Amino acid sequence: MSKGFAEIISGNLAVRLANSAEEVKAAQELRYKVFYEEMGGIPSEEVKAQKCDFDQFDNYCDHLLVIDYDLPKETGQVVGTYRLLRRSAIAEIGKFYSESEFDVSAIKKESGEILELGRSCVDENHRNRSVMQLLWRGIGTYVALHDIKLMFGCASLFGTDVKEHATSLSYLYHYHLAPEELRAIALPDLYIETNLIAKEALDSKEAFNSLPALIKGYLRLGGYIGQGAVIDPHCNTIDVAIVVKTDLITDKYANRYSTK
């Protein structure tokens, strides 16, 4: 568990790390609500029985929470979450979550601390600028605290029909493909081609605007996209790999919102 992360408060909202098993469970329950009940994913029988999205990685992660203190404690105050997994924390489990879909060996060659971002979601009644800004402020503070040089993870397009996402996937391929030295690649048995429409046939502005907000956020921070995509039927998504150097997020969020 990460130490030294002070709660950041903005009105009735705050962002901090989970500091108990009960708070981690609240994040997992929010993930279940969003990924399975709202987005149409297909949970395992165990996950479904507990109405709680969990896996073997949760015990090795820090869990970033956005809390709405105006909500009653008995019905739950966690309205946003991100799962944070540092390289220095995976010695026992031996791999990152993303490695079930992507070859991230190029990213793992980077020196210094690296951070995998995952399982991000926000309650449908709190999907607004304030909550997203708080999540990014939290990540920026965490990045600075642990001197993280590189962030990566999976980001999703909702639905599993590749044709429906041909414009988005092609735009990401043509305009934001990671350089080879930072490029995650979809595993061969899961690989979905993303170069589906010629670059000259795309309206780049329209394609960017059609992307999910989270992917647009990564791209605005100078993020890159890996090669190939992966269909995740359990979460009803098409996943792409994201990699972001932390310079911009540190400048924009951690330095601006110092907690000292």
| Residue 29, token pair as written in the block | 């329950």
Asked if 160 contacts 172 with a C-beta cutoff of 8 angstroms, the reply is no
User: How much is the pLDDT for 189?
Assistant: 98
Question: Is 200 buried (19+), middle (13-18) or exposed (0-12) by CB count in 10 A?
Answer: exposed
User: How much is the pLDDT for 5?
Assistant: 86
Q: Tens digits of per-residue pLDDT, 122-167?
A: 999 998 888 988 999 999 999 999 999 999 999 999 999 999 999 9
User: How much is the pLDDT for 49?
Assistant: 95
User: How much is the pLDDT for 258?
Assistant: 39
| Residue 122, token pair as written in the block | 């926000």
Q: Residue 190, SS3?
A: coil
Q: What is the DSSP letter of 199?
A: G
User: How much is the pLDDT for 51?
Assistant: 95
Cα-based distances in Å from 128 to 123, 171, 209: 10, 25, 17
Q: Residue 232, SS3?
A: strand
Which residues of the chain register pLDDT less than 50? 256-260
Q: In whole angstroms, what is the distance from residue 237 CA to residue 254 CA?
A: 31
User: How much is the pLDDT for 75?
Assistant: 82
Handedness of CA 17, 21, 23, 24 (dihedral sign): positive
User: How much is the pLDDT for 256?
Assistant: 47
| Residue 36, token pair as written in the block | 């399975």
User: How much is the pLDDT for 249?
Assistant: 74
Q: Which domains does the chain carry?
A: 8-254 (3.40.630.30)
**pTM of the full structure:** 0.91
Handedness of CA 146, 149, 153, 156 (dihedral sign): positive
User: How much is the pLDDT for 91?
Assistant: 85
Of the candidates 117, 134, 65, the residue with the CA atom closest to the CA atom of residue 246: 117
Handedness of CA 218, 107, 146, 255 (dihedral sign): negative
